[in-house]
């Protein structure tokens, strides 16, 4: 694929983000414009590897035909590349921006050299498809007469809706928020995924015949029984929206917030009024501490800096990862290495240092007489492996430290879906409190009710949500064919 000797001739070069000093002045996307000639060269690096591990179980969850569209980009056949991309991925404009690219971690070239820039190329293919007018509504020619309700408009719900609609079923999506997109809309900041792009895709799905109903909380505003009477099948795609909290002394102080409250309110205010309504948690002139790494923690860092915070520090419980793969982390596993994301780069540019501090356990939050947060007390950790290889943490005596803080954002992930909907529907849960489904067909313990995405598998990636939505749609289509 690509140029036979391309991987020998060309070095990996990713497309740079916008200049950090410029992008910190706005909430526009961090990405720079695509350079077709640059991407052609990067596509040439895709090897004729025989077995493309980028499409394996350790690589792309949606089984993107990566070598094929890399080759097509190398030859300048962009429209055909888009057609290949859409065969497996309903929303490449989303994954090309926000997916951490497990495909690159499994790239065969990565055994000896830096992987192919798969994510950059996918991003560019999708953007060119819209720019050239190749991506248009394609409503089904015939309707089956079956009606499907989808609860939740995140990646899994949207992907399932797109597939079910293409099969000819009539689909209605219910969303409890005021805007559609789930975590695509309110969970990911605008600088990583412009909300106009989410609306653009929603509008295409509407033109294809999918009905969208906002501000409607199934299980509260409308009962499950009504949905069961009105529809032939139901899909729960509600996400894993129950956050992991930190119940230590001082948790109730003013200034300690869940990360998603911070990010959601900021995006809503940005979209409603360009932040002029002040209906968000402002980090301006505040000393900010973000507890927890990962994408959500990085997003809190980037948002705080754009507000004009005084300082930002990121607490990590685990040790700093190595710069290269460790011996116990071989290819094609996801490389557990240290990564500098956009927020870390922005913090370093603004305050002169990497915001991350590793091996820290938060012991308590400290406040003043008025109940306002003033600091965070931590203790350093030592991590050692026991005889079974399990990592054990111990506190280091005498390593206590108090950090000045006006705001703390808890970005420690999610522990599963909220349960008012599962309780109302009387569906079974698995050992991790997710919606339990029958292996292979996504159906819950209630006939005709299916589940997909984070509410079924636990907190995961957008690309996994898309894959689960697609597979759930196939299961629902089969169910409708058997019951009607």
For the stretch 409-421, pLDDT in tens is 999 999 999 999 9
**The pTM is what?**
0.96
pLDDT in tens, 435-480: 999 988 999 999 999 999 999 999 999 999 999 999 999 999 999 9
φ, ψ for residue 421, nearest 5 deg: -75, -45
Assess whether pLDDT exceeds 90 at residue 4.
Answer: no
Contact 264, 255 (CB under 8 A): no
* Domain 147-241+415-483 and domain 245-412 have a common topology: yes
Q: Of 425, 90, 423, nearest to 231 (Cα)?
A: 425
pLDDT in tens, 276-321: 999 999 999 999 999 998 999 999 999 999 999 999 999 999 999 9
Signed CA dihedral, 424, 425, 429, 435: sign only: negative
In the chain, where the domains are located? 6-131, 147-241+415-483, 245-412
pLDDT average, residue stretch 368-397:
95
Assess whether pLDDT exceeds 80 at residue 2.
Answer: no
Buried b vs exposed e over 13-40: b needs ≥16 C-beta within 10 Å?
eebebbebeebbeebebbbeebeeeebb
CATH-assigned architecture of domain 6-131 = Orthogonal Bundle (1.10)
Contact 381, 395 (CB under 8 A): yes
| Confidence (pLDDT) at 26 | 98
| Confidence (pLDDT) at 1 | 60
Residue range 147-241+415-483, CATH number: 3.50.50.60
Q: What is the mean pLDDT of the chain?
A: 96
Q: Which CATH number fits domain 245-412: 3.50.50.60, 3.40.140.10, 3.30.1700.10, 3.40.50.300?
A: 3.50.50.60
Assess whether pLDDT exceeds 80 at residue 340.
Answer: yes
| Confidence (pLDDT) at 256 | 98
| Confidence (pLDDT) at 220 | 95
pLDDT in tens, 61-115: 999 999 999 999 999 999 999 999 999 999 999 999 999 999 999 999 999 999 9
Residue with tokens 């305050």: 351
């Amino acid at each position: 694929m690509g140029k036979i000797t391309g991987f020998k001739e060309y070095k990996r070069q990713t497309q740079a983000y916008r200049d950090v000093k410029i992008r910190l002045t706005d909430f526009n996307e961090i990405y720079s414009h695509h350079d077709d000639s640059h991407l052609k060269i990067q596509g040439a690096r895709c090897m004729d590897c025989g077995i493309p591990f980028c499409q394996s179980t350790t690589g792309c969850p949606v089984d993107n035909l990566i070598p094929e569209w890399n080759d097509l980009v190398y030859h300048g056949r962009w429209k055909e590349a888009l057609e290949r991309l859409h065969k497996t991925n309903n929303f490449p404009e989303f994954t090309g921006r926000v997916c951490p690219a497990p495909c690159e971690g499994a790239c065969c070239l990565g055994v000896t050299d830096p992987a192919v820039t798969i994510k950059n190329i996918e991003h560019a293919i999708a953007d060119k498809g819209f720019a050239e007018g190749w991506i248009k509504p394609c409503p089904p020619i015939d309707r089956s007469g079956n009606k499907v309700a989808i609860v939740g408009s995140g990646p899994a719900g949207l992907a399932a809706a797109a597939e079910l609609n293409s099969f000819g079923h009539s689909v209605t999506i219910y969303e409890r928020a005021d805007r559609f997109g789930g975590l695509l809309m309110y969970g990911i900041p605008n600088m990583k995924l412009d909300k106009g792009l989410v609306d653009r895709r929603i509008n295409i799905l509407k033109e294809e015949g999918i009905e969208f109903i906002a501000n409607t909380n199934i299980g509260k505003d409308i009962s499950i029984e009504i949905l069961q009477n009105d529809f032939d099948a139901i899909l729960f795609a509600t996400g894993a929206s129950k956050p992991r909290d930190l119940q230590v002394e001082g948790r109730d102080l003013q200034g300690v917030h869940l990360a998603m409250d911070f990010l959601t309110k900021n995006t809503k205010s940005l979209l409603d009024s360009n932040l002029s309504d002040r209906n968000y948690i402002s980090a301006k002139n505040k000393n900010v501490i973000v507890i927890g790494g990962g994408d959500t923690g990085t997003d809190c860092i980037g948002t705080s800096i754009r507000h004009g915070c005084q300082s930002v520090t990121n607490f990590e419980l685990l040790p700093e990862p190595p710069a290269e793969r460790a011996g116990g982390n071989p290819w094609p596993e996801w490389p557990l290495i240290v990564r500098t994301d956009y927020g870390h780069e922005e913090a370093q540019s603004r305050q002169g240092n990497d915001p991350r501090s590793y091996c820290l356990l938060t012991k308590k939050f400290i406040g003043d007489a008025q109940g306002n947060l003033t600091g965070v007390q931590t203790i350093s950790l030592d991590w050692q492996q026991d005889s079974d290889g399990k990592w054990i943490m111990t506190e280091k005596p005498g390593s206590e430290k108090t950090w000045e803080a006006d705001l703390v954002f808890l970005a420690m992930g999610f522990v599963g879906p909220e349960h008012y909907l599962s309780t109302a529907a009387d569906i079974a849960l698995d050992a991790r409190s997710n919606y339990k489904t029958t292996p292979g067909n996504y159906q819950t313990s209630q006939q005709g009710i299916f589940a997909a995405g984070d509410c079924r598998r636990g907190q995961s990636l957008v690309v996994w949500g898309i894959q689960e939505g697609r597979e759930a749609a196939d299961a629902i289509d089969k169910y409708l064919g058997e019951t009607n």
